């Protein structure tokens, strides 16, 4: 049981390049999330998917797109990377724990945009 996995672990891009961050979970969770974490700031929600086939914007969606490929996989795409997107990206999946949504996080992808 691997939990939430993310690829790649590290990535360096040049401004304007595109890339897709991959996330998969094996806990049969309905909801999945993408966050970014920047120094001195709390994690911020980029996009989330409450269930397979649905996606919604979070707090900071500009410059990103997502795809909920199936129940297990939720990818985040940067179409034209900018230096402001340099960050650590975390994927999470959610379960209902006593009526509360417990979220389990992946190990993160460290992205640098030059």
The DSSP bridge pattern shows strands 10-13 and 109-113 to be parallel
Which residue in 11, 19, 43, 71 binds other proteins (CB under 8 A)?
43
Task: Name the residue nearer to other proteins (CB basis): 62 or 97.
Answer: 97
Residue from 21, 34, 47, 48 that binds other proteins (CB under 8 A)? 48
In the complex, what is the shortest distance from the CB of residue 76 to other proteins, in angstroms, rounded to a whole number? 15
From candidates 22, 44, 73, 86, binder to other proteins by CB under 8 A: 44
CA gap 29, 60 in Å, rounded: 23
Binding residue (CB under 8 A) for other proteins from 56, 79, 80, 114: 56
**Residue 73 CB: number of other CB atoms within 10 A?**
16
- 8 Å CB contact between 108 and 88: yes
Among 11, 50, 55, 61, binds other proteins (CB under 8 A): 50
CA distances from 34 to 12, 29, 87, 98 (A): 19, 14, 12, 23
Among residues 6 and 85, whose Cβ is nearest to other proteins?
6
User: End-to-end alpha-carbon separation of the chain, Å?
Assistant: 36
Contacts with other proteins, residue ranges (CB under 8 A): 4, 31, 40-45, 48, 50, 56, 58, 90, 92, 94, 97-98, 100-108
């Amino acid at each position: 049981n691997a939990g939430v996995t993310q690829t790649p672990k590290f990535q360096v891009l040049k401004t304007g390049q595109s890339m897709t961050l991959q996330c998969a979970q094996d806990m049969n969770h309905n909801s999945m999330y993408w966050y970014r974490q920047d120094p001195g700031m709390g994690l911020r929600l980029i996009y989330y998917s409450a269930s397979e086939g649905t996606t919604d914007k979070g707090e900071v969606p500009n410059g990103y797109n997502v795809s909920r490929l199936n129940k297990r996989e939720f990818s985040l795409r940067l179409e034209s990377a900018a230096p402001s997107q340099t960050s650590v990206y975390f994927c999470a999946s959610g379960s209902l724990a006593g009526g509360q949504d417990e979220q389990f996080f992946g190990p993160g992808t460290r992205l640098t945009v030059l």
